[in-house]
A = this chain, B = another copy of it.
Amino acid sequence: MKPQAYVFDAYGTLFDVYSVQAKCEEIFPGRGADLTRLWRARQLEYSWLRSLMGRYEDFWKLTGDGLRYACQFLGVKPGQEQIEELMQSYLALDAFPESGQVLAKLAAFPRAILSNGTPAMLEAVVRHNGLEGQFGHIISVDELKVYKPHPSVYQLAVERLGIAKENIAFVSSNGWDVAGAKAFGFTVYWLNRQGAPVEELGVLPDAIIKSPLDLLYLP
């Protein structure tokens, strides 16, 4: 069955969060990879933990918190200006090379972003990559004050698009986001670029793809 709309995760799916690695490496030679990995890990953990604690802060704040923790853990000491520079790089993540092409090819369908990012963060990264025209909706969890994979987040896309959840194709590179979206009831395509194992969360994606281009050729 062909989906009636496509909803994309942003970070890691359309936009490469590891494109901050170059900036990290420039500022802290030899530590770029570790800093990038730990920064991203804490950013996500904090989103889950704060959701459970009922202490929401927006994703811009969590991105800064994750960066500060990662720097302290690794014993690197950025100045205020370097912190600023690293944070700004999050607003200028590169889109993966195929993102624009696939979005254009799917132009006959409603397309949306559904992301943990704040509206300002999402707007910035979409604009940076010249993708403003590609999305009917850019949906942020920020209006709900809870993060993925809480089911109410996925429900936001249903309400905004006005399409039944099983007719919405949700595309994410994050295995845990895939599990949350599938448990909610979307048709889910896991963009598994690295060939990682399926997360053991009790649900399976409808398809696993290696490249966003594969979306064009799914049955």
A-to-B contact residues, CB < 8 Å: 42, 45-46, 48-55, 57, 65-66, 68-69, 72-73, 146-151, 176, 179-180, 183, 196-197, 199-202
Contact = CB atoms under 8 A, between A and B. Distances in A.
Nearest to A148: B52
Please report whether the interface of chain A is mostly helix, strand, loop or mixed according to DSSP: helix
List 3 A-B pairs, minimum CB-CB distance, nearest first: A65-B200, A72-B197, A48-B48
Contact of A200 (B54, B69, B201): B69
A183 B196 CA distance: 35
Nearest to A203: B55
Contact of A69 (B151, B183, B199): B199
A200 B150 contact: no
Contact of A54 (B48, B151, B202): B151
Given A55-B183, A183-B55, A49 B176 contact: yes
A56 to B, nearest CB: 11
A53 B179 contact: yes
Given A42-B200, A48-B48, A55-B201, 14 more contacts: A45-B45, A46-B200, A51-B52, A52-B146, A52-B147, A53-B179, A53-B183, A55-B183, A55-B202, A65-B200, A65-B201, A69-B197, A69-B200, A73-B196
A52 B116 CA distance: 14
26 contacts: A45-B48, A45-B176, A46-B199, A46-B201, A48-B49, A48-B52, A49-B149, A49-B176, A49-B179, A49-B180, A49-B201, A50-B201, A52-B149, A52-B150, A52-B180, A53-B149, A53-B150, A53-B151, A53-B179, A53-B183, A53-B201, A55-B201, A55-B202, A65-B200, A66-B200, A69-B197
Contacts of A176: 45, 49
A176 B188 CA distance: 31
A42 B68 CA distance: 23
